[in-house]
Structure 1
């Protein structure tokens, strides 16, 4: 087979390498072309050198090109994969820092809540640019695979306004299933059969079977509470499991910022999170992790390049959906996964226009969703709160409507539990002004926002958050890795 895959935001070096090696685990894909594109020529150079080394070491005919000219990369592409972070870590830092001034403590801030909504405002204009290029220069009928957050908002914009065949992809379901299989004592995650449905990062395991045996709420609660690690790291998720009756896919830290109950007071935050790793609820945890990862990669790049000389091992192919979807579409080997698509009747008690995440099957005819799923009422209610925020956020981003943007932020569950309307209005003004370079649709609104900020009397505070850690130096990271290696 010979076709072209374009990866937009390919400077996300580690993830691009994973997608690349996963796809090349499919024997029929040896002769394909990968076209890498990114706004950072520096990052493009690093990832191309790594992928070239992989191709050389494995004696493959695979072609790899790299360019900062996006349309050139997309020209003739059959598949376009996006893993962009618009604004980079600079804008992301403001997604965390500014809401903290108003008492909003986020662990990740890339899906909803104040940070996730502003992240969507930066991404959506760029997503629409991608879609325009796909329509104009990619292969007819090209498919857009979006890995970038905020998943639902980006996918919503691409489908509704970009008019491109789009699917959103995330690994939260797979990771949640692996946890459940482990606590139940399964020898392999493959022993667990499940139906998991909802919206991205708020997906619910509504049916569980272990080797064909149904697993109920009480057994699952007991299994998690008996686990020596998860009982400490996933306290909030276990509490939601007890109250809702089903387990959520999303990590303790992520889930905590989508709900109005657990992060609204500093003492509650420290009660429900675990500081053994950022993903369990640390304030700005993913920002710290991303910063450290970038610094580590820049410093240790020669090691990454050397590691690329190893043979590709199909047994180590990851459970990221992209390679499996492409394999199913191109070879007709059926793949079952969980995909972010427009609802259109898939989930009976969520809106038709919402972007849902639910089970589907892929073959040469495309992605075929399992329709007619009904969520438990509490799960649907929680999803609905986020869907309403997502819809307003997408519409605000498309129109450049700062008033609608403020209403979207006001209706966010955690923001509404913490902040007053006056605080929300000022916070949004401050975030739009700080991120104006990445918000072209709000250019006309920025001068008035600056004027309002100059006269505002709403009080703020400089607050690091309830559970903030400093970015570790390269030396500290080396020492920690050495200690882990010695202990292991």
Structure 2
């Protein structure tokens, strides 16, 4: 087979390499073209060198090109994969820093909550630019695979306003299933048959069978509470399982910021999180991790380049959906996964226009969703709160409506649990002014926001958060990796 895959945001070096090697694990795909594009020539140069080394080491006919000209990369592409981070770590730092001044403590801040909503405002205009290019220069019927957060908002905009065939992809379901299989004593997650449904980052394991045997709430709670590691790392997640009756796909830290109950006061935050790793609830944890990862990659790049000389091992193909979707579409080998698409009746008790994440099957006819799923009422209620925020956020981003943006932030579950309307109005003004370089649709609103901030009456504080850690140096990271290697 010969076709073209374009990767936008290919400067996300580690993830691009994973997608690339996964796709090349499909025997029929070795003669395809990868067109890499990014706004950073530096990052493009690094990832192209790595992928070229992989092609050379494995003696493949695969073609790899790299350009900062996005339309050139998209020209004739059958598949387009996006893994962009609009505004980079600079804007992301404001997504965490500014809400902290108003008492809003986020672990990740890339899906909803104050940070995720502003992240969506930065992404959506660019997503629509991608879609315009796809419509104009990509292959007829090209499919857009969006990995970029905020997943639901980006996918919503691409489908509703970009008018491009789009699917949103995430790996939360796979990670959650692996946890459940482990606590139940399974040898492999393949022994676990699971149905997950909801919205991205708020998806729920509504049906579980281990080797054909149904698993109920009580057995699952007991298994998690008996686990020596997860019982400590996933305290909040286990508490939600006890109360809702079903397990969430999302990590302790992610889930904590989508709900109004666990991060509303500093003492509550420290009660429910675990500091053994960022993902379990650390304040600004993903920002710290991302910063350290970028610094580590820059410093240790020669080692990453050397590692690219190893043969591709199909046994190490990851469970990221992209390669399996492409394989199913092109070869008709059926693939079952969980995909982000417009609801349209898939989940009976969520709105039709919402972007849901639910089971589907892929073959040469496309992605076919399993329809008629009804969520437990508590799960549906929790999802509805986020869907309403997402809908307002998308509409605000399209219209450049700062008043609607403020209402979206006001209705966010965690923001609403922490902040007053006056605080929200001032915080959004501050975030829009700070991130104006990436918010062209709000250019008309920035002067008035600045004027209001000059007369601001709401008191703020410089607060690091309830559980913040400093970014570690390269030397500290090396020492930690050496200690882990010795212990292992």
TM-score above 0.5: yes
Alpha-carbon separation, structure 2, partners of 1:251 and 1:124 = 26
Q: For residue 146 of structure 1, report the CA deviation from its aligned partner.
A: 0.0
Q: For residue 185 of structure 1, report the CA deviation from its aligned partner.
A: 0.2
Q: For residue 96 of structure 1, report the CA deviation from its aligned partner.
A: 0.1
Q: For residue 47 of structure 1, report the CA deviation from its aligned partner.
A: 0.1
SS of the aligned residue for 1:98 comes to helix
Alpha-carbon separation, structure 2, partners of 1:463 and 1:437 = 25
Q: For residue 406 of structure 1, report the CA deviation from its aligned partner.
A: 0.1
**Partner in structure 1 of residue 443 of structure 2:** 443
Q: For residue 412 of structure 1, report the CA deviation from its aligned partner.
A: 0.0
What's the CA shift string for 1:413-463, capped at 9, x where partnerless? Answer: 000000000000000000000000000000000000000000011000000
Q: For residue 290 of structure 1, report the CA deviation from its aligned partner.
A: 0.1
What's the CA shift string for 1:70-97, capped at 9, x where partnerless? Answer: 0000000000000000000000000000
Q: For residue 3 of structure 1, report the CA deviation from its aligned partner.
A: 0.1
Q: For residue 478 of structure 1, report the CA deviation from its aligned partner.
A: 0.2
Alpha-carbon separation, structure 1, partners of 2:120 and 2:41 = 24
SS of the aligned residue for 1:360 comes to strand
Alpha-carbon separation, structure 2, partners of 1:174 and 1:436 = 36
What's the CA shift string for 1:292-321, capped at 9, x where partnerless? Answer: 000000000000000000000000000000
Alpha-carbon separation, structure 2, partners of 1:456 and 1:14 = 43
**Partner in structure 1 of residue 389 of structure 2:** 389
**Partner in structure 2 of residue 469 of structure 1:** 469
Alpha-carbon separation, structure 2, partners of 1:30 and 1:238 = 44
Alpha-carbon separation, structure 1, partners of 2:40 and 2:420 = 39
**Partner in structure 1 of residue 63 of structure 2:** 63
SS of the aligned residue for 1:414 comes to helix
Alpha-carbon separation, structure 2, partners of 1:160 and 1:413 = 25
The two structures have a TM-score, normalised by structure 1, of 1.00
Q: For residue 361 of structure 1, report the CA deviation from its aligned partner.
A: 0.1
**Partner in structure 1 of residue 250 of structure 2:** 250
Q: For residue 110 of structure 1, report the CA deviation from its aligned partner.
A: 0.1
What's the CA shift string for 1:169-217, capped at 9, x where partnerless? Answer: 0000000000000000001100000110000000000000000000000
SS of the aligned residue for 1:207 comes to strand
Alpha-carbon separation, structure 1, partners of 2:186 and 2:103 = 42
**Partner in structure 1 of residue 234 of structure 2:** 234
Determine if the alignment matches structure 1 residue 406 to structure 2 residue 406: yes
**Partner in structure 2 of residue 139 of structure 1:** 139
Alpha-carbon separation, structure 2, partners of 1:14 and 1:122 = 23
Alpha-carbon separation, structure 2, partners of 1:195 and 1:34 = 33
Q: For residue 139 of structure 1, report the CA deviation from its aligned partner.
A: 0.1
Q: For residue 327 of structure 1, report the CA deviation from its aligned partner.
A: 0.1
SS of the aligned residue for 2:361 comes to strand
Q: For residue 366 of structure 1, report the CA deviation from its aligned partner.
A: 0.1
SS of the aligned residue for 1:367 comes to strand
Alpha-carbon separation, structure 2, partners of 1:76 and 1:198 = 34
Q: For residue 239 of structure 1, report the CA deviation from its aligned partner.
A: 0.1
Q: For residue 339 of structure 1, report the CA deviation from its aligned partner.
A: 0.1
Q: For residue 286 of structure 1, report the CA deviation from its aligned partner.
A: 0.1
Alpha-carbon separation, structure 2, partners of 1:430 and 1:368 = 43
Matches within 5 A, 1:139-158: 139-158=139-158
SS of the aligned residue for 1:162 comes to coil
Q: For residue 14 of structure 1, report the CA deviation from its aligned partner.
A: 0.1
The two structures have a TM-score, normalised by structure 2, of 1.00
Determine if the alignment matches structure 1 residue 219 to structure 2 residue 219: yes
Alpha-carbon separation, structure 1, partners of 2:299 and 2:455 = 45
What's the CA shift string for 1:6-64, capped at 9, x where partnerless? Answer: 00000000000000000000000000000000000000000000000000000000000
SS of the aligned residue for 2:187 comes to coil
Alpha-carbon separation, structure 2, partners of 1:147 and 1:427 = 28
**Partner in structure 2 of residue 313 of structure 1:** 313
Q: For residue 120 of structure 1, report the CA deviation from its aligned partner.
A: 0.1
Alpha-carbon separation, structure 2, partners of 1:162 and 1:179 = 36
Q: For residue 127 of structure 1, report the CA deviation from its aligned partner.
A: 0.2
What's the CA shift string for 1:369-415, capped at 9, x where partnerless? Answer: 00000000000000000000000000000000000000000000000
Number of residue pairs aligned between Structure 1 and Structure 2: 488
Q: For residue 100 of structure 1, report the CA deviation from its aligned partner.
A: 0.0
Alpha-carbon separation, structure 1, partners of 2:146 and 2:195 = 22
Alpha-carbon separation, structure 1, partners of 2:392 and 2:19 = 32
SS of the aligned residue for 1:456 comes to coil
Alpha-carbon separation, structure 2, partners of 1:190 and 1:53 = 33
Structure 1 stretches of 4+ moved >3 Å? none
What's the CA shift string for 1:271-303, capped at 9, x where partnerless? Answer: 000000000000000000000000000000000
SS of the aligned residue for 2:5 comes to strand
Alpha-carbon separation, structure 1, partners of 2:475 and 2:211 = 47
Q: For residue 162 of structure 1, report the CA deviation from its aligned partner.
A: 0.1
Alpha-carbon separation, structure 2, partners of 1:449 and 1:115 = 18
Q: For residue 223 of structure 1, report the CA deviation from its aligned partner.
A: 0.1
SS of the aligned residue for 1:444 comes to helix
What's the CA shift string for 1:119-157, capped at 9, x where partnerless? Answer: 000000000000000000000000000000000000000
